[in-house]
Amino acid sequence: MSLEEYKGVFTFAQQVDHKLEGVAFELIGKGKELAKDLGTEVTAVLIGSGIKDLADQLAEYGADHVIVVDDPKLENYRTEPYAQALAGVINEFKPEIVLVGATAIGRDLGPTVSARVKTGLTADCTQLDIGNFPLEPKEGVTQKPNQLLMTRPAFGGNTIATIACPDNRPQMATVRPGVMIKLDPVKGAKADIIEFKPDLTENNKYVEIVEVIKEAKKTADIMDAKILVSGGRGVGSPENFKILDDLAEAIGGTVSCSRAVVDAGWKPKDLQVGQTGKTVRPNVYFAIGISGAIQHTAGMEESDIIIAINKDESAPIFDVADYGIVGDLNKIVPALTEAIKAAVKE
Amino acid sequence: MKIVVCIKQVPDTKNGVVFNPDGTLNRGAMDKVMNPDDKAGLEVALQIKEKTGAEITVVSMGIPDADTVIREAFAMGADKGVLITDRVLGGADTWATSSTIAAGIRNLDYDLIITGRQAIDGDTAQVGPQIAEHLGIPVISYAANVEVEGDYVKVDRQYDDRMHKLKVKMPCLVTALSETTTPRYMTPGGIFDAYDEKEVTVWGRADLKDLDDANIGLAGSPTKIAKASDKVRKGAGEKVNLDPTASVSYIMDKLTEKHVI
């Protein structure tokens, strides 16, 4: 089969406990753009047990088609039956692009499936485009049009690389949650639904789930926040985060933090913004006492407005901030909170 | 019991990275270390060895200089070491790397294979699961609390909001995390033995059977680099240095101007 016969953009619609993850919608949003450039359509692949009814949500967020693989073996995520399901879909429907969220599940499923269908996989992409490979014409090399160009950070966010997969199909990428933008849902939109039954024969690769221990989410998801008040080591102590809590409350925001704060044990890991934490793009991001190592900025530089407060005027955070204030956060932050409270009252 | 631990020599990014003028990484100018997740994987293996008397073979693929990470593994307590090195294997992506390492591991006896979750240079977390796929054995990635019980391995696998306690029959592969395991230091006697008593087995392309030339090196890599560069930052906006009261007024003006409040 020639490479040109592979058609369509497929997105993995990750659900856990019958709830679709935000990245499932983000991938459809990006997939629509790529599909438009390629003159093709977006198919969401929904895998689980008793999950058919979720297909309508995927349609509302833009999926043209939904392939449903519904089987009791797929109740809880396990690498093998999920890999059988997704690889089965790829082998049957031959998509040219497959996008998977770079979640704890996607970063496990992606490598196994890509090896099984003998293609390349680019991890943790932050940008996807359609273009030529090589980018510029090169003597002795046939330049191929309509390739998926996958851009990702490497070396802890110190470098970025753009990668193509010109000679294998599908072109596969895992995509960082929070980076792509979901479309506004269209209520009542319907997709063409295809129920597919891949071979899910149990084999030596089926692991036994002895126990599932669910952990209640203690904190608001910083990826959903419109305003983030983020603190770094410069805040000084876990107690002093109180002034950030107060600011967040006054402005209707959520507190997040840098890696240094998590490493010091001041805040839990799920509040961490950055390369090894979460990627966020709120409307307003306050970076307070954060020096702004690339590790951190890689996770927040797409925020609409970045306001940085730091006493060190050479701190790299000022290189990405829209508004940088050199000064003492202990004086500025409480006064700002009061000013906002006063303004809100009016 | 036989354990294979895969280890990689990586540039140490702790003290920043050095670039070539063309934007690619100047690996030669940076210190090299054993990848942290791999070192955690070796520690997991050493703890199993202490309980069960397992034999540990470390396998690394890289340039001849990667010999040093194998010696380091010896000094920590690994029994045997294999270095897979050959010019034709260079430039490999995760598919070609995992195909090559899997072919090397086929030359060995193993019950359990441990790799690190991911390497700090590529951060892909792909090679471990892909080695398992090539060998046709189960994989548990992001493994914490790895315990051997008879023919089975028990592992805690962490997801975003839950943990799965898993049990799987060997042979299998697990990928280890540096967050949950602190590796031991090398012992002085171990360092001495690592250089004077132990041999690193070196395998080239010819030693790897069941490996198609189409699946190795740069040419056998499905993914190709179109462009690599130093990260382009967003670019600075305004920066002011005012007294606290004026700073607050400045921020309030901006928040009002942008309709935040």
In a structure prediction context, what are the per-residue pLDDT tens digits for chain A, which is 346 residues long? 788 899 999 999 999 999 999 999 999 999 999 999 999 999 999 999 999 999 999 999 999 999 999 999 999 999 999 999 999 999 999 999 999 999 999 999 999 999 999 999 999 999 999 999 999 998 888 999 999 999 998 776 677 889 999 999 999 999 999 889 999 999 999 999 999 999 999 999 999 999 999 976 555 689 888 899 999 999 999 999 999 999 999 999 999 999 999 989 999 888 999 888 888 889 999 999 999 988 899 889 888 899 999 999 999 999 999 999 999 999 999 999 999 999 988 7
Which residues lie closer than 8 Å to A12 by C-beta, 6 or more apart?
A: A24, A27, A44, A45, A47, A86, A98, A99, A100, A101, A106, A109
Closest residue to B133, CB basis, from A115, A155, A209: A115
Give the dihedral sign, CA A33/A34/A37/A40.
Answer: negative
Q: What angle do CA A102, A105, A111 make, to 5 degrees?
A: 70
> What would the two tokens of residue A215 be?
């952990």
What domains are there in chain A, each with its CATH number? 3-195 (3.40.50.620), 222-345 (3.40.50.1220)
Cβ separation of B221 and A149 shorter than 8 Å?
no
Give the distance from CA B193 to its chain's centroid: 25
User: Taking CA atoms, what residue in A is nearest to B137?
Assistant: A205
Chain-chain contact of A336 with B236 (C-beta, under 8 angstroms) = no
Residue B242: half-sphere exposure toward Cβ, Cα within 13 Å: 16
Tell me the chain A residues in contact with residue B10 when contact means C-beta distances shorter than 8 Å.
none
Which of B222, B229, B261 is the closest to A344 by Cβ? B261
Does residue B178 belong to the interface with chain A, where contact is any CB pair within 8 Å? no
Residue A258 region, left (φ>0) first, then alpha (ψ -120 to 50), else beta?
beta
State which residue of chain B sits closest to A136, comparing Cα positions: B226
- HSE-up (13 A, CA, CB side) for residue B155: 28
Helices (H), chain A: 22-38, 55-60, 79-93, 106-116, 242-251, 259-263, 294-297, 329-345
Q: Could you tell me the two tokens for B165?
A: 């306690």
- Rounded to a whole number of angstroms, the distance from the CA of A41 to the nearest CA of chain B is 24
- Tokens describing residue A205: 């690769």
Distance in Å, alpha carbon of B188 to nearest chain A alpha carbon: 30
Q: What is the pLDDT of residue B165?
A: 97
DSSP codes of every residue in A51-104? -GGGHHHHHHTT-SEEEEEE-GGGSS--HHHHHHHHHHHHHHH--SEEEEE-ST
pTM confidence score: 0.86
Question: In this structure, what are the phi and psi dihedrals at residue A28, rounded to the nearest 5 degrees?
Answer: -65, -45
Q: Cα distance from B213 to chain A (closest Cα, Å)?
A: 14
pLDDT value, residue B24: 60
Q: Which of B33, B236, B194 is nearest to B116 (CA)?
A: B33
Neighbours of B6 (CB within 10 A): 28
Question: Number of A:B CB contacts under 8 A?
Answer: 258
Does domain B2-215 correspond to CATH entry 3.40.50.620? yes
- Report which of A307, A299, A203, A292 is spatially closest to residue A251, judged by C-alpha positions: A307
pLDDT at B234: 61
Pairwise CB contact (< 8 Å): B17 & A159: yes
Spans of chain B below 50 pLDDT:
none
Q: Which of B238, B244, B258 is closest, CB to CB, to A328?
A: B244
Distance of alpha carbon A253 from alpha carbon A273, whole angstroms: 15
B227 CB neighbours in chain A (<8 A) are 135, 161-162
**A233: DSSP letter:** G
Q: Which residues of B touch A159 (CB under 8 A)?
A: 17, 19, 23, 25, 228-231
Q: Using CA coordinates, name the residue in chain A closest to B140.
A: A79
ipTM above 0.95, yes or no: no
Look at chain B and count its residues.
Answer: 261
Chain A residue numbers touching B130 (CB-CB < 8 A): 111-112, 114-115
**Angstrom distance (rounded) from CA B138 to CA B1:** 18
Give the model's pLDDT for residue B16.
Answer: 64
Q: Which of A111, A114, A164 sits opposite B224 (nearest CB)?
A: A164
Q: Write phi, then psi, for A158 (nearest 5 degrees).
A: -75, -25
Q: Are strands A284-288 and A305-310 parallel, antiparallel or unpaired?
A: parallel
Contact A327 B261 (CB under 8 A): no
DSSP-assigned states of every residue in A173-201? EEE-TTTS-PPPP-TT---EEEE------
Answer whether B144 touches A (CB < 8 Å).
no
